[in-house]
């Protein structure tokens, strides 16, 4: 129950970045708190240490000559202690299907000795998904069928 969680832990639970399970031994009164990753992303606040730092707004700070974004600044605020920070991110050009096919052909050239293929997909909303494959063929099939809207 939440009475065993401090205010920062409750703040983490309130924004779904961390989930806590509280176990109370009725005989001894001992309390055990187990911590799990929540289903929404929040960063750790450098001020209070809780995982309560959320994006409040984003702005394009630099554009290329063609008008496409080059740099994005994300502004964060801690929902617990109200600390703020901003971080700049470089925005890579959107890859075309031809770019993926070129990469796929390069990867096929030397595949001996590969034990596992790991792919991390990071969406524009910050969702991160990790996948592991036993072969390049499996990874290529995954990439060919990848639908970002379903992540």
pLDDT tens, position by position, 92-148: 766 666 666 676 666 555 566 676 778 887 777 777 787 777 777 788 888 888 777
Predicted TM-score (pTM) of the model is 0.46
Task: Give CA separation, 94 vs 12, 59, 106, 138, 149, in Å.
Answer: 34, 18, 19, 24, 16
pLDDT tens, position by position, 35-83: 777 766 788 899 999 888 888 998 888 888 888 888 889 899 999 999 9
- Whether the Cβ atoms of residue 47 and residue 56 lie closer than 8 Å to each other: no
Cα separation, 68 vs 70, whole angstroms: 7
The residues spanned by each domain of the chain are 2-90, 97-146
118 contact partners, CB below 8 Å, separation of at least 6: 130, 131, 132, 133
């Amino acid at each position: 129950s939440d009475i065993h969680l401090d205010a920062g832990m409750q703040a983490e639970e309130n924004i779904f970045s961390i989930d806590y399970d509280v176990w109370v031994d009725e005989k001894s009164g001992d309390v055990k708190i187990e911590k799990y990753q929540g289903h929404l992303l929040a960063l750790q606040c450098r001020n209070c240490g809780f995982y309560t730092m959320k994006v409040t707004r984003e702005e394009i700070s630099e554009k290329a000559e063609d008008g496409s974004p080059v740099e994005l600044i994300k502004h964060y605020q801690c929902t617990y202690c109200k600390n703020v920070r901003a971080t700049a991110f470089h925005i890579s050009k959107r890859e075309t299907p031809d770019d993926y096919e070129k990469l796929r052909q390069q990867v096929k050239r030397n595949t001996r000795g590969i034990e596992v293929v790991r792919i991390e997909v990071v969406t524009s909303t910050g969702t991160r998904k990790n996948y592991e494959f036993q072969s390049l063929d499996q990874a290529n099939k995954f990439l060919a069928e990848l639908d970002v809207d379903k992540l």
